[in-house]
Amino acid sequence: MKGASKGEGLGNQFLGHIRSVDAIAHIVRCFEDSDVVHVAGHVDPQRDIEIIDTELILADLESVEKRMDKTARLAKAGDKNAIAAMDVCTILKQTLENGKPIRSQESGVRSQEYKELLNELNLLTAKPVLFVANVDEKDLKGESPLVAKVREMAEKEKAKVVIMCGRIEAEIAELPEGERLEFLKGIGLKEAGLDRLAKEGYELLNLVTYFTAGKKEVRAWTVAKDTKAPQAAGVIHSDFEKGFIRAEVISYKDYLASGSELLAKEKGFMRLEGKEYIVKDGDIIHFRFAV
């Protein structure tokens, strides 16, 4: 693919978006390069973002209108649930026809019926958004006027902006694991752009990661913030939650300071936590359970 060496997969050719279950990340080109031709002829991140937003709004509008077509007959017959659904769809349709994403609606209009229908429709513009500015090697801090445009749009959305360079990310991916940190230090970065993107994505979705470690493998598990220990255990297996007794917990910081699980235990860093314990990001946990 032409321009792939410059990180085209991260939005150099045009604006892209990454969908997750609960969020969308807009990836937009923020650098000039005569060797990588933009499909619109010139680089304008604001225009590109507006184009993709319009496409998402139109897709959502189609979904809402289809739902209204299915519900209209029942509503006319007096079905209360259908009437409530039509009322919510009308609100959603008006917002979209005004060219605004669903996430822009005030929380005050979000009745229980609204929330239930929104979950059912799974509208794209209802999801929180993260902006990713794909820059060149000379603008790793994101100080160019092009990035400034992205920051301005993100501010209106109350969203975060992640700065990353597609070409550098491609180079990092080709390096052995042990050489990556040294490479990043050499160009003045503390971590890779994809790592920053993952962190911001987790923050946006209110997620945390905890770890389990055994003789055979170490696993990372993702749960929502403020998840209690039994429910976190249930992510591994439902029996863990049903028969939960306690959690043996070592924080990641204490583990690193100790150098091993055994030394962490010897230093008294392992804690016994009960059913009300809220799992923290980076916790290393061994669950005790009985079924």
pLDDT at 3: 33
User: What was the pLDDT predicted at 114?
Assistant: 86
pLDDT the model gives residue 24: 86
Sites in the chain below the pLDDT cut of 50: 1-20
pLDDT of residue 8: 40
Among the listed residues 205, 53, 27, the one whose alpha carbon sits nearest the alpha carbon of residue 131: 27
For position 291, what pLDDT does the model report?
83
| φ/ψ (deg, to 5) at 17 | -145, 140
Which domains, and CATH codes, for the chain?
4-35+130-204 (3.40.50.300), 53-126 (1.10.150.300), 207-289 (3.10.20.30)
What is the structure's pLDDT at 10?
41
**What contacts 261, CB < 8 A, 6 or more positions away?**
213, 250, 255, 284
**pLDDT score of 36:** 74
pTM of the model as a whole: 0.77
